[in-house]
Structure 1
């Protein structure tokens, strides 16, 4: 479907599903397969490597790209045509999302993977998808059937097809490239979205004989770049411009900050709410699936060994490897792996990695040996004895020869241990970038700012692991051209951004103050009176709260709620908050229970959850069908901000607004 690890799973899924779906009409069979997937797995944040559908099934968890590949595999195993669809990057919030389409007759219908709804074409992401600039599907090899949809691009054996019009209002956008005023036929055009404070490519096009490329897209701003024969051009294409022209030049760099607004598409009106019968049925399906999945997980390792716990459904394979002999390198090897690695690696592969590294144990310090020789993990490749990319293959080859090696965290360049230190590419020379920021300003990398290096006609995002000392940050960097981007996202999803290009030369230091666009309170807020909110043993929750507070209506166990709880858990300080839950049984949800144990600032109330959620959502202009609902309450009877669903960085924004309200 995408870049997931391959597995032999169809017979397993067929045997589990066929008796459940064989007599059902097609649409009901699709819904039933998704119910089964929910019984087997739920959302859990994972690293970038995409696990196989069989791993998701055995370990009862996956991120959205893994869940969707799991559902597609399950549907295909019982003869239902299905595909993964993907928003490469959202425009209105950071990150991306994937879900599933099924072919019912001659029409594609959609659903959220492992998130069963009572009907098709409904998911927590409906409103988000209506704000997408691009939604695509893919095939391996160029499909010729019109059922695939309009072709976006075909590169390296992968075809991408445009599905945006099924979810969002689209219009044709035409991108012209000229050279000396004439059409630049064959120019490479890259469409990019500002996401995580970096311009992420979402589509790559080739200009035709008229110097133009055309694509139906959602109504959001785009950053467009073009190149041909060493000439380049780039710029912001506003969402209202349906024809945009770039003139190729020899030099596009600028050494001054350039400020710009990056606007997201508007959301479509929310769907009508489900009727009470369907709501009740949905709740019962979710509760039943949660119970079955938990029962499966209860059959895993129940002891105290953290490695076997982390291995989840793969614990017996790991126990087999550990128990073969008393070699202490066995546990050290497992401790060097990620939890995801423990969940799908085989004992046979572990034996191979152990035997390759063991002869070099006494040649290097233990920490170096464990991380750069014993550990087979180089980047996010599949953990087999064969590796893929040249950089990963190079590191793996060096480790197999007993030479400690790794990929540099900054940019993924191979580094080799020599003379007591790691060394990068030969002949590389370094300079320094020293940044400064306003005092008392907390910044998050890939949320508020990012750094990229010019490489191969594009920009490579970097991971410099910045550490601020007071208001300065010093970054040693290889000589070259860099782009620094800042972004401040508004509740509307729009961004106040700026970018600058900086040249780093060997042995010299460049001093650069960060340009951070200012967000005013009025950019963020409104003030709307809230009605009394009754709860069990409390006739009016708002009257009982004595200070500005974050209010959350939580659908515990749902993917968007899990994201909110994870962000609250990761925050160094928890703000005053009130959680509205369906009942005391909700406290058994592990993520929620762990958060409440650590934070006394959170009050819990039980109320008529569905009724109040819908009433408050409609009052504040949010979608009642997209829990959780988060509201910033000013302590004086008014909501000043509300959001339904989830966007990356939601909790950071909520806390920022709350602090401003408290200071007024």
Structure 2
């Protein structure tokens, strides 16, 4: 996203019309993507924001884009072009450009009430299954006849319609269903369960021709660009330099090294901040602040912001102070030095009154900050100082403003990352506050408990949030609001799973919810289930988490980081690590961990050799890794002369075998060989370990299935 914004600005600066194109979510896999279109010779051409190619209309995403269901872009002002208009604001028009990338179909949705009458001004959400939720990629209001329309790629979406607390939903297959009627036949408290098989559009990518000369010229440019970037990265702090710095200032070497290395190109700012903290108390507090903020903040936070938030007044609870007072990060805002500003803007007498009775601050914000959803159409939050000066903001910026103002007065506060609620933090825990109500009593919200049982399916003993299931709350209007639990870290693990969230139970606010589960098949299709349940105050609700599965189709059975590093074996003896993504390119690939001179490995390699022609025709890379350099030296390639030419040999210098064993729940980590088929969307669709009969045939069967 950021790189596409940069490229658009760069192209416009030299007179080339350009725009960012965005798919809010893929249909065939999780995640989203942004790229760039540039205008030349009377038409729009696309290019990757950060993946230079020899020609236009070429990127790693040609194939995924041909399976897309919706792409859009924003045009400033009113727009009178040929593309379908998605929405119009006072500043820009959002238009639908899916037709530039995939075959499309138009469908009309009619919303009716329980008596079959059309419902005008109903909200119709077009949803794709992505990250285990039904994510809204387009939202429209019905006309006087209860109708809306959308043009999309030829795949399946969930249609969710709502008005005044009533709602209904159904599957829509673009290209098959020209019309769909959705009835508002459900309301809060109703229970329902529905299964859907959602099929994405088939691949239909058109690849432009690239000559050998064009490819060679592009490779030269890439090498030059790599040298520029590597020269810059060489200026980043090393472990040795970071530890020397820590010794100079008598700081914890391990902590300082981790922080300075993570700060990358911003290391001088972080070092200057540490150097300014002279007292022992400041040193400890400064390190604690740096360990509290995210890796992204370390890379772009300013010295002014860090020094401002080190001046935070203490509150009674040291843990609350670190997390909910001194911490500069509230939500997704740009970090600013707001604490010094509010100390000047708010008198000491007022600050003391708010500290004594925080609900007075809630009432002040509700009375004095007007919410206008049209005032910030760009979406990026307004700074707390900006909200104070304007006294008007969108609701999200208003919420960030309140938390920032509270923290400036040493009042612990947060926006709950799961529910999105604004909360004051006290001795009794978190208290929800409603900034839309000027006068209210301080009280805890009513809560119940949710427990879910799970009967494991093949290769999935512990479903993961965002990968296999999500929870959403039904809000009064009839829409869904996702509970945004911690997703963990791709490399370090963690995150929310069935076992650590629902097996023993989790507290939830009283209300109506839906559980969405989904099994992604290797084809990109999804076997999903949506079911509702109610949380009652002081009660435990028991539900079942059901993962549907297919006995016939290839399905996604795990996750694997395609940017994992290994060291390719080179003829010239050079030792340069590469990621699997770099070595294999976008798409599917095979990774094998070999046990040298062991019969299971020898048998597996002979099986693979027997399918040499098929695997070479498939054309994807096979990365075969040795556990260490010594074992690589003992491998006799001449013993296996008929292996496919698509093989890349290397050494597992970065723990790929351990990652596979962990992610695939392999019981005997030392048992080799291990083979997986995965793709650069980090999906695993095949795993084999140890002695296996017919490995080549199994690989080809899976490959044909994908």
Kindly report which structure 2 residues correspond to 1:217-228, keeping only aligned pairs within 5 A, or say none.
217-228=152-163
What is residue 455 of structure 1 aligned with on the other side? 475
Give unmatched runs, 5+ long, in structure 1: 1-64, 526-549, 551-561, 570-577, 605-613
CA distance in 2, matches of 1:455, 1:245: 23
**Structure 1 residues 654-663 or 74-83, which shifts more?**
654-663
1:460 Cα deviation from its structure 2 partner? 0.9
Residue among 314, 317, 330 paired with 1:364: 317
Aligned residue number for residue 15 of structure 2: 79
Partner SS, residue 72 of structure 1: helix
Residue in 2 that maps onto 1:495:
526
Name the counterpart of 1:409. 417
State the alpha-carbon separation in 1 of the partners of residues 106 and 447 from structure 2: 45
Instruction: Report the counterpart of residue 211 of structure 2 in structure 1.
Output: 275
What SS is found at the alignment partner of 1:524? coil
Provide the residue aligned with 1:300 in structure 2: 236
Aligned partners of 1:83 and 1:593: how far apart in 2? 27
Where in structure 2 are the equivalents of 1:158-557 lying within 5 Å?
A: 158-179=92-113, 180-239=115-174, 240-249=176-185, 251=187, 255-269=191-205, 271=207, 274-302=210-238, 303-304=241-242, 305-326=257-278, 327-328=282-283, 329-355=285-311, 357=312, 359-360=313-314, 363-365=316-318, 367-384=319-336, 385=338, 386-387=383-384, 389-419=397-427, 421-425=429-433, 426-439=443-456, 441-457=461-477, 458-464=479-485, 465-466=496-497, 468=499, 472-520=503-551, 522-524=552-554
Q: Which residue of 2 aligns with 1:121?
A: 57
The structure having more radius of gyration, on CA atoms, is 2
8 A Cα contact 2:449 2:538, kept in partner? yes
Deviation at 1:193, TM superposition (A): 0.5
Are residues 414 and 220 of structure 1, via their aligned partners in 2, closer, same or farther at CA, if it must alter by over 3 Å? same
Contact 1:628 1:646 survives alignment (8 Å): no
| Distance apart, 1:138 and its partner CA | 1.4
Partner of 2:683: 650
Q: Deviations over 1:161-211 (max 9, x none)?
A: 100000000011111122333332322211110111101000011222332
Q: What residue in structure 2 maps to residue 588 of structure 1?
A: 576
Aligned length: 526
Q: Structure 1: how far apart are the matches of 2:226 and 2:690? A: 34
User: Which residue of 26, 33, 36 maps to 1:100?
Assistant: 36
Give the stretch that moved more between structures: 385-394 or 261-270: 385-394
Contact 2:413 2:425 in 1 (8 A): yes
Report the Cα offset of residue 583 of structure 1: 7.0
Q: 1:260 & 1:581 partners in 2: Cα distance?
A: 47
SS in 1 for 2:562: helix
| Change in 2 beyond 3 A, CA 1:373/1:315 | same
> 1:450, 1:236 → 2: CA distance?
19
Q: Cα offset for 1:309?
A: 2.4
Check the 8 A contact 2:154/2:200 in 1, yes or no.
yes
SS of 2:9's equivalent in the other structure is helix
Asked whether the 8 Å contact 1:234–1:252 carries over to 2, the reply is: no
SS at match of 1:468: helix
**DSSP-derived class of the 2:88 partner:** strand
Q: Distance in 2 between matches of 1:515 and 1:247?
A: 26
CA 1:315–1:602 in 2, change beyond 3 Å: closer, same or farther?
Answer: farther
Q: State the Cα distance separating 1:115 from its structure 2 match.
A: 0.5
Change (3 A) 1:142 1:187: farther
Does the aligned pair in 2 maintain the 1:233–1:248 contact within 8 Å?
yes
Aligned to 2:617: 619
Deviation at 1:432, TM superposition (A): 1.1
| Runs of at least 5 residues in structure 2 that lack an aligned partner in the other structure | 243-256, 339-382, 385-395, 434-442, 486-495, 584-590, 597-611, 625-639, 647-674, 699-706
1:592 to partner: Cα distance = 6.4
- Two-structure CA RMSD over aligned residues (Å): 3.8
User: Structure 2 vs 1, CA of residues 157 and 476 (structure 1 numbering), >3 Å: closer, same or farther?
Assistant: farther
What per-residue deviation string (whole Å, max 9, x for no partner) do you get for residues 292-317 of structure 1? 20011112334223323222222222
Do the aligned residues in 2 keep the contact of 1:629 with 1:644 (CA within 8 Å)?
A: no
Match of 2:514, SS state, is strand
- Tell me, yes or no, if the aligned pair for 2:568 and 2:578 is still in contact at 8 Å: no
Distance 2:500 2:292 in 1: 31
